[in-house]
Structure 1
């Protein structure tokens, strides 16, 4: 075990993962959080009724179920239950129709009819290589894949894209590509659809029982159990504040890093950071409702996640408009009714509904009516169930979390260039020109998602470079 001090700025999933890794290695870790509560994208709180918890950012966690960091950390052993719905995600269509992605690949293929064999050909081989593919795409992307055959199979499928003839299967596939946020009819959108889509049939798209905050609490408990400390309500505005720490890991995006370290950074690196691009924004709505969402197709209510985008052509159009700074009148909307899979989220019949729309970066359009109308298209009468609602515009999301520039909850656009050089071209993407200062946010590989890997890999890089040691065990019974 090493002896030393480290500061971690930001307590989102990556900051917490970095702190867990450093504290278990023996360092005295202090975490700084601008908000009154820890968690970043994992925050949960009661908004309208003190008995009912809402997820403020992330709600469904396919990456937390699959990521190497969380598999080693073992959330289940720490009391965090990931509830996996039988239907991972659903895509309603007009006329009461819906396409459903079951956990079971067989059930999904059977329901897709003529496109069932194509769905099996697309995802079946990926399931056989799931662990190696997940390890590759949740890595620093600087090492060869453990399964070259699996990587080749994935790449060929990503190049081909949507292979389906029917409207339902095509919409089901494209709805997952929508998680790429932006121009989804291309290689990046296809890759996201394949990665998240195959996980729907593998480890699933689970909802943490009791809300996403349960994951943040488990991580924080491990940090404090190994001597770490938290300073909440403390926003670091100048890197000079942390001059006494030999190691500083920043769970901050490129723009925020540039803000707090501009005086110390070389001009060339600062210019590179300033060129980092951001994706369209998310406009979030939290509803408190009196009953389950009245979907026209009742099977949609069994899904953990619902994509509202219409046909493939409609989704490609709305996402392209958002990418180009124009608000679609039918934006892509994601909806989660946690009570559908976690009854503890329902009290006296009242339940939270989580939803956000993809809008232009920095858009300030109030989202409540927009999102409610999108849900009403596929669930007539939804508005009559709404007891309370709170909307956050894309512009306001950056105030909530400076990493979400213009409402970009992925902390940077996922383009081919920004996958290869995130946030700037460096062999070790977590290092910076400043000695002992590392980036560990979603602005570094592997990018967006609650996977903890950016934090873990940044901490592993710091431990190797400064102490010549490998990262410690993350197992629940491991102690310094």
Structure 2
């Protein structure tokens, strides 16, 4: 295939992985990125002042750690390092000690003996095969998974709504809260079918290889990818916004690391009418409202062990979490939202000046929310760490509109490329065995709006590029 050319619009992890796959196959690849630096939402900056490293998008990375795409391109050999905390996850509770997801199944179950059997049933087979489970989860749903027997076992655990499973299966508030918090990564109401799949998947990864952070910030993942691309001769044009495909040079293949809304803007009337109508109806989901903190020390949690956790789910018990997620999905802002906190500098000293801590957090808020949720996030953390506000040196708030202005793929603050409600969980972005094709020869979508969805793993770009290579080989 020497001499063939490819264009990539958007330099998020998926676009960069697609570029690497094609360049490895001899394509002359050019990447066009509107921002000054590649990476999309997988980026870091010093927004809290000199000497700080703040993850501007994603922060904890159980998917990136096991990504087949990242392993193929040997990001570790290109400088990527992982940092691990004492616990992958903590979930504080009112009037009780925090409950922890340990990087060990037995240690997790020891916290709630009454729920040991059901926790083992849900997680045991998955914990024993984390790579295979992730490979299944990061493959297109419409097709034969790489490990079909394990996928069938996972499917049985994934089907029930997390709210139903947490209330019916668990006797203890500790196990129910821990499971519900992981299920909330779906950014769906916990009454939605298949939300238990998120709880089982995130729990299994945490109890096997953990939820690590990238040393030096999430941007370090992109830095490693850029070294790969540099070695492959890929040209990256930053500060170069593409508003229509006509602006691109001639190429055999073109990939859009964009959501359906941007794909319509870029491709215009070139898209088949049916696909364009579907894209125009594409639904964006629950948004993130982000607050980053610089503290003069660790968060003073009531349960001091919580400071050793990489991620903390700040909400209370499972019933409160289910109520908050239901309100958000209905477009109402809860007084006590689900807040996710990541404490990277407790494992990675490079994140903050000596004696200080960088804290990353966001709350789930309604799509396009234009209110001020910052005080609610402060209050939720303060609820479980009474002296928290006294530790704040600096605070930076980024609401949904600001997220979208920074990265147009984060429509209305949706960090997952589109809601997973209804058929969009399975038909991303359309009901097709080739979900990456845009119905135009040589034109493909490779964003989180395609399988396997959101997260820093590059697998949408990986699958899209390999599908395009197969399609090209048939002509």
Q: Please tell me whether residue 356 in structure 1 is matched to residue 385 in structure 2.
A: no
Quote how far apart the aligned CAs of 1:265 are: 1.9
Q: Secondary structure at the match of 1:320?
A: helix
TM-score, with length taken from structure 1: 0.94
Partner of 1:101: 101
Partner of 1:128: 128
8 Å contact kept, 2:47–2:54:
yes
8 Å contact kept, 2:399–2:413:
yes
8 Å contact kept, 1:285–1:367:
no
Aligned residue pairs total: 469
8 Å contact kept, 2:410–2:417:
yes
- d(CA) in 2 for partners of 1:74, 1:145: 24
Quote how far apart the aligned CAs of 1:34 are: 0.8
Quote how far apart the aligned CAs of 1:467 are: 3.9
- d(CA) in 2 for partners of 1:436, 1:283: 37
Partner of 2:401: 395
- d(CA) in 2 for partners of 1:233, 1:190: 41
- d(CA) in 2 for partners of 1:300, 1:416: 36
Unaligned runs of 5+ in 1: 470-480
- d(CA) in 2 for partners of 1:129, 1:348: 39
Partner of 2:467: 461
- d(CA) in 2 for partners of 1:284, 1:49: 17
8 Å contact kept, 2:159–2:195:
no
Partner of 1:64: 64
- Which residue of the other structure, out of 260, 267, 281, is the alignment partner of 2:287? 281
Unaligned runs of 5+ in 2: none
Q: 1:152 to 1:464 in 2, by over 3 A?
A: closer
Tell me the alpha carbon deviations over residues 143-186 of structure 1, each in whole angstroms, 9 at most, x when there is no partner. Answer: 32344332222122223433211111100000001110021233
Q: 1:310 to 1:263 in 2, by over 3 A?
A: same
- What root-mean-square deviation, in Å, do the aligned CA atoms of Structure 1 and Structure 2 show? 1.6
- d(CA) in 1 for partners of 2:193, 2:420: 11
Partner of 1:312: 318
Q: Secondary structure at the match of 2:41?
A: helix
Partner of 1:37: 37
Quote how far apart the aligned CAs of 1:188 are: 2.6
Q: Secondary structure at the match of 2:72?
A: helix
Tell me the alpha carbon deviations over residues 216-274 of structure 1, each in whole angstroms, 9 at most, x when there is no partner. Answer: 01111111211111111111111111251221111001111111212322322210111
8 Å contact kept, 2:73–2:228:
no
Q: Secondary structure at the match of 1:306?
A: strand
8 Å contact kept, 1:96–1:296:
no
Q: 1:272 to 1:357 in 2, by over 3 A?
A: same
- The range that moved more, 67-76 or 455-464, is 67-76
Quote how far apart the aligned CAs of 1:468 are: 5.8
Partner of 2:258: 252
- d(CA) in 1 for partners of 2:123, 2:129: 10
Q: Secondary structure at the match of 2:312?
A: strand
8 Å contact kept, 2:69–2:462:
yes
Q: Please tell me whether residue 366 in structure 1 is matched to residue 385 in structure 2.
A: no
Tell me the alpha carbon deviations over residues 8-61 of structure 1, each in whole angstroms, 9 at most, x when there is no partner. Answer: 111111111111111111111111111111111211011132211100001100
Quote how far apart the aligned CAs of 1:383 are: 0.8
8 Å contact kept, 2:48–2:54:
no
TM-score, with length taken from structure 2: 0.95
- d(CA) in 2 for partners of 1:65, 1:372: 30
- d(CA) in 2 for partners of 1:455, 1:146: 18
8 Å contact kept, 1:61–1:207:
yes
- d(CA) in 1 for partners of 2:388, 2:218: 25
8 Å contact kept, 2:102–2:108:
yes
- d(CA) in 2 for partners of 1:416, 1:146: 25
8 Å contact kept, 2:10–2:258:
yes
- d(CA) in 2 for partners of 1:468, 1:43: 37
Partner of 1:8: 8
- d(CA) in 2 for partners of 1:148, 1:94: 41
Partner of 1:184: 190
- d(CA) in 2 for partners of 1:145, 1:456: 15
8 Å contact kept, 1:180–1:188:
no
Partner of 2:309: 303
8 Å contact kept, 2:35–2:238:
yes
- Which residue of the other structure, out of 206, 209, 226, is the alignment partner of 1:203? 209
- d(CA) in 2 for partners of 1:65, 1:348: 27
Matches within 5 A, 1:167-246: 167-242=173-248, 244-246=250-252
Matches within 5 A, 1:139-158: 139-158=139-158
- d(CA) in 1 for partners of 2:201, 2:2: 37
Partner of 1:446: 452
8 Å contact kept, 2:105–2:127:
no
- d(CA) in 2 for partners of 1:436, 1:148: 31
- d(CA) in 1 for partners of 2:357, 2:208: 28
- d(CA) in 2 for partners of 1:18, 1:116: 43
Partner of 1:473: none
Quote how far apart the aligned CAs of 1:451 are: 1.1
Q: Please tell me whether residue 385 in structure 1 is matched to residue 391 in structure 2.
A: yes
- Which residue of the other structure, out of 263, 269, 272, is the alignment partner of 2:269? 263
